[in-house]
Amino acid sequence: MLAAILSLGGIGLAAAVALGFAAKKFAVEVDPREQAILEVLPNANCGACGFPGCSGYAKMVATSDKIAAACPPGGAVVMEKIANIMGLAPVEAEPMVAVVLCQGDDGKARQKYHYLGVHDCVAAQKVADGPKTCPSGCLGLGTCARVCPFDAIEMTPDGLAVISRARCTGCGKCVSSCPRSVIGMKPLDATVHVLCNSHDKGGLVRKYCDIGCIGCMICKKTAPTAYEIENFLASVVYENHGDAEVAIEKCPTKCIRNFMDGYPEGSSFSAPTCMREAG
Amino acid sequence: MSVAMKNLKTFPGGLHPPDNKQWSADKPIEDCPMPDELVIPLAQHIGAPAEACVEAGELVKKGQLVGTAKGFVSVPIHASTSGEVVAVEPRPHPMGKALPAVVIKPDGEDAWLPGLQGGDPASLSPVELRDRIRDAGIVGMGGATFPAHVKLSPPEDKPIDTLILNGVECEPYLTADHRLMLERPEAILGGIAILQKILGVKRTCIGIEANKPDAIEQLTAATSDLPIEVVPLQVKYPQGAEKQLILAITGREVPSGGLPMDVGVVVQNVGTCTAIDDAVRRGLPLVERIATITGPGVVEPKNLRIRVGTSLQYLVDQCGGLKGEPAKIIMGGPMMGMAQLSLDVPATRGTSGLLLFTSENVPVRPEGPCLRCGRCVRACPARILPTTIAAYARLDLTDEAEAYHAMDCIECGCCTYSCPAALPLVQAIRGAKGAILAKRRKG
Amino acid sequence: MVDLVLILISAIFVNNFVLARFLGICPFLGVSKKVETALGMGMAVTFVMTVAAVVTWFIQYFILIPFNIEYLQTIAFILVIASLVQLVEMVVQKVSPVLYQALGIFLPLITTNCAVLGLAVLNIQKDYTFLESVVFALGAAGGFTLAMVLFAGLRERLDLCPVPKSFRGTAIALVTAGLLSLAFMGFAGLVKG
**Contact between C53 and C137 (Cβ < 8 Å):** yes
Is the minimum CB–CB distance between B431 and chain A shorter than 8 Å? Answer: yes
The residues, any chain, with a CB within 8 Å of residue C123's CB and separated by 6 or more, are C53, C56, C57, C60, C133, C136, C137
The pLDDT of residue A79: 82
How far apart, in whole angstroms, are the C-alpha atoms of residue A111 and residue C116?
62
Of chain B, the percentage scoring pLDDT greater than 90 comes to: 85
Query: What are C37-69's pLDDT values in tens digits?
Result: 888 888 888 888 999 999 999 999 998 999 888
Contact C83 A26 (CB under 8 A): no
CA distance B256 to chain C (A): 25
C93–A26 C-beta distance less than 8 A = yes
How, if at all, do strands B353-358 and B288-294 pair?
parallel
Query: To the nearest whole angstrom, how far is the Cα of A28 from the nearest Cα of chain C?
Result: 6
Instruction: Among A114, A119, A128, select the one facing B97 at the smallest CB separation.
Output: A128
- Predicted TM-score of the model (pTM): 0.81
* Confidence check: pLDDT of B241 > 50: yes
The pLDDT of residue C154: 93
The closest of B244, B252, B166 to B204, measured between CA atoms, is B166
Domain-wise residue ranges, chain A = 32-86, 96-261
pLDDT band at C103 (very low <50, low <70, confident <90, very high): low
Q: Which residues of B touch C158 (CB under 8 A)?
A: none
- CA-to-CA distance for B334 and B330, rounded, in angstroms? 7
Instruction: Please state which CATH number belongs to domain B119-281.
Output: 3.40.50.11540
State yes or no: pLDDT of B165 exceeds 50: yes
For A218, counting Cβ atoms within 10 Å of its Cβ (0-12 exposed, 13-18 middle, 19+ buried), the class is: middle
Question: How many Å apart are CA B222 and CA B340, to the nearest integer?
Answer: 39
If you write DSSP's letter for every residue of B303-366 in order, what string do you get? EEEEETT-BHHHHHHHTT-BSS-EEEEEES-TTT-EEES-S-SB--TT--EEEEEEGGGS--PP
Quick check: A127 and B341 in contact, CB under 8 A? no
Residues in chain A within 8 Å Cβ distance of C90: 19, 22-23, 26
Mean pLDDT of C161-182: 89
Same fold, B33-116+285-359 and B119-281: no
Q: What is the pLDDT of residues C128-167, one digit of tens each?
A: 999 999 999 999 999 999 999 999 999 988 888 888 888 8
Packing angle between helix B386-394 and helix B425-442, nearest 10 degrees?
60
Whole-angstrom Cα Rg for chain C? 17
Q: What is the mean pLDDT of chain A?
A: 86
Pairwise CB contact (< 8 Å): A127 & B394: no
Between A82-91, B103-112, B173-182, B273-282, the lowest mean confidence (pLDDT) is in A82-91
Across the interface, whether the CB atoms of C59 and A3 are under 8 A apart is answered no
- Straight-line distance from the first to the last Cα atom of chain A, in angstroms, rounded to the nearest whole number: 68
pLDDT at A278: 46
Could you tell me the residue ranges of all domains in chain B?
33-116+285-359, 119-281, 375-442
Size of interface B-C (CB pairs under 8 A): 7
> Is the CB of C91 less than 8 angstroms away from the CB of A28?
no
Interchain proximity C79–A26, CB inside 8 Å: no
d(CA C27, CA C157): 19
Q: How far is CA A222 from CA A211, A225, A227, in A?
A: 19, 9, 9
May I ask the CATH architecture of the domain B33-116+285-359? Roll (3.10)
Angstrom distance (rounded) from CA B15 to CA B376: 10
Ramachandran sector of residue B396 (left: φ over 0; alpha: ψ -120 to 50; beta: rest): left
- Give chain C as a 3 state SS string: CHHHHHHHHHHHHHCCCCCCCCCCHHHHHHCCCCHHHHHHHHHHHHHHHHHHHHHHHHHHHHHHCCCCCHHHHHHHHHHHHHHHHHHHHHHHHHHCHHHHHHHCCCHHHHHCCHHHHHHHHHHHHCCCCHHHHHHHHHHHHHHHHHHHHHHHHHHHHHHCCCCCHHHCCHHHHHHHHHHHHHHHHCCCCCCCC
pLDDT at position C192 over 70: no
- Residue among A3, A12, A19 minimizing CB distance to C67: A3
Q: In the prediction, which pLDDT does A271 show?
A: 75
B402 CA: distance to closest CA in chain C (Å): 15
CATH topology assigned to domain A96-261? Alpha-Beta Plaits (3.30.70)
Residue B292, strand partner residues: B303, B353
* Interface test mutation site (partner B, options C160, C163, C165, C168, max chain B beta carbons within 10 A): C160
pLDDT digits (tens, 9 = 90+) for A136-195: 999 999 999 988 888 899 999 999 999 999 888 888 889 989 999 999 999 988 899 999
Distance of CA A80 to the CA centre of its chain: 21
What local confidence, expressed as pLDDT, does residue A92 receive? 64
H/E stretch holding B166? strand B162-166
- Separation of alpha carbons B150 and B192, rounded Å: 17
Which of the other chains make 3 or more beta carbon contacts under 8 angstroms with chain B?
A, C
Query: What local confidence, expressed as pLDDT, does residue B429 receive?
Result: 95
Q: B396 to chain C: nearest residue by CA?
A: C160
The answer to whether C160 contacts B395, with C-beta atoms less than 8 Å apart, is: yes
* Residues of chain B found within 8 Å of residue A113, distances taken between Cβ atoms: 339, 341
Quick check: B278 and B289 in contact, CB under 8 A?
no
B369 at interface of C, judged by CB pairs closer than 8 A: yes
Element (H, E) at B173: none
Q: Is A107 exposed, middle or buried (0-12, 13-18, 19+ CB in 10 A)?
A: middle
| CA dist., res. B240 & res. B231, Å (int) | 13
Which position has the higher pLDDT, A31 or B27?
Answer: B27
CA distance B412 to B398: 21
A-chain residues near B427 (CB < 8 A): 117-118, 123
Average pLDDT, chain B: 92
Mean pLDDT of B412-440: 93
3-state helix/strand/coil string of B422-441: CCCHHHHHHHHHHHHHHHHH
Q: How far apart are CA B351 and CA B141, in angstroms?
A: 8
Write the pLDDT tens digit of every residue in B170-200: 999 999 999 999 999 999 999 999 999 999 9
pLDDT digits (tens, 9 = 90+) for B350-385: 999 999 999 888 888 888 888 889 999 999 999 999
**Could you give the dihedral angle defined by the CA atoms of residues C116, C118, C120 and C121, in that order, rounded to the nearest 10 degrees?**
160
Q: Name every chain A residue with its beta carbon within 8 A of the beta carbon of B96.
A: 127-129
**pLDDT score at A91:** 64
CA nearest neighbour of B354 among B376, B328, B379: B328
Tell me, yes or no, if B391 comes closer than 8 A to chain C by beta carbon. Answer: yes
Q: Which of B439, B394, B389, B393 is nearest to B409 (CA)?
A: B389
Residues of C in contact with B432 (CB under 8 A): none
